[in-house]
A and B are shown apart, each in its own frame.
Chain A
């Protein structure tokens, strides 16, 4: 019995909590005054997406190639400088 009473009291609370928060409408707008739906063309987005992917890959490959060349040249130079010491 106790459980039933608790359940009866809890029911409105549960139902109220389950409702979405109500927001009263502040004014009425005729349907013909609605702003036109935003149209966003797909082609520029697709082109931009593929361009970004290609640019990122090319930039990264170029960056590795440049860094490799620099380090290889520096290593060659350092090894040359270390040779006389090694012989001495």
Chain B
């Protein structure tokens, strides 16, 4: 991992550096025009958020089943990423909506479930920060609820009537639009994995420090 880490950083930096060029070259969408270009960062941020949600949920299951400290460290790290990438999605979305729908926010199923998912992980972080002893297990339970919410966010546009575009937009994209999108998705997923590795290292060092302090106590 130590050898591949710098290579992955360079790769992610290259992808992010090339992304504005690819997005600039992508054609304007016929009804929304320029503002649709937000799509190329908005959708990848949700991909990264969903990946982080699944990592957090699965690591929480492992922690609940085996009480594995590393699994708990991974879950805590991933939860922070859920909040960061979710925040990007929740801010870029309304900026796009203001022009496309004429309003900043709409309390429809897609947007509301996405906000609820984000709030679950904000609650997770608050619980881990201020919950005291035992908050790891409570947090793990909360992460499972968060992970269970992901399918509702994804399929909400098909189940309920919403103003949000359908998920079928992505697989049916014409090639000049699909290229920049998948480049963005790759860059965001790579970034999420790199940040996860860094944040997990921080969590493990913190636990090591706690152990040293405990050993120092008389």
- Hey, which bits of chain A sit against chain B, CB under 8 A? 38, 40, 42-43, 45-46, 48-50, 52-53, 56-57, 60-61, 64, 67-68, 71-72, 74-75, 78-79, 81-82, 85
B208 to chain A: closest residue by CB: A75
Please determine whether B202 and A68 come into contact, CB atoms closer than 8 angstroms: yes
- Residue contact A46 to B98, C-beta cutoff 8 Å: no
Residues of B within 8 A of A43 (CB): 34
Contacts A75-B208, A78-B209 given; does A53 touch B41 at CB 8 Å = yes
User: Helix, strand, loop or mixed for chain B's interface?
Assistant: helix
Cα A75 to Cα B199 in complex, Å, equals 16
Measured CA separation A79–B96 after assembly (Å): 51
Query: B34 touching A75 by the CB < 8 A rule?
Result: no
- Shortest A41–chain B CB gap in Å is 8
Q: Are B99 and A68 in contact (CB under 8 A)?
A: no
Measured between alpha carbons, how far is A26 from B199 in the docked complex, in Å?
Answer: 60
A82 engages B212 (CB within 8 Å): yes
Contacts of B34 in A (CB 8 A): 42-43, 46
B38 adjacent to A45 (CB under 8 Å):
yes
* Residue among B33, B38, B96, B102 facing the most chain A CB atoms (10 A cut-off): B38
Could you tell me if A48 and B205 are in contact, using CB atoms closer than 8 angstroms? no
Q: A45-B99, A68-B198 are in contact. Are A53 and B35 (CB under 8 A)?
A: no
Contact of B92 among A53, A61, A68, A82 (CB under 8 A): A53
Min Cβ gap B129→A in Å is 13
Interface size class of B (residues with CB under 8 A): 20 to 34
Binary flags per residue of B192-218, CB closer than 8 Å to A gives 1, else 0: 000100110110011011001101100
Of the candidates B35, B42, B96, B195, the one having the most CB atoms from chain A within 10 angstroms of its own CB is B35
Task: Report Cα–Cα, A50/B20, bound state, in Å.
Answer: 10
Contact A46 B37 (CB under 8 A): yes
Q: Does B156 contact A (CB under 8 A)?
A: no
Chain A residues with CB under 8 A of B42: 49
The reply to whether B212 and A79 contact each other, CB–CB distance below 8 Å, is: yes
Q: By the criterion CB–CB under 8 Å, are A49 and B201 in contact? A: no
Which residue from chain B places its CB closest to the CB of A48 in the assembled complex?
B95
Question: B48-91 interface mask toward A, CB cutoff 8 Å, 1 = contact, 0 = none?
Answer: 00000000000000000000000000000000000010011001
The answer for the CA separation of A52 and B98 in the assembled complex, in Å, is 16
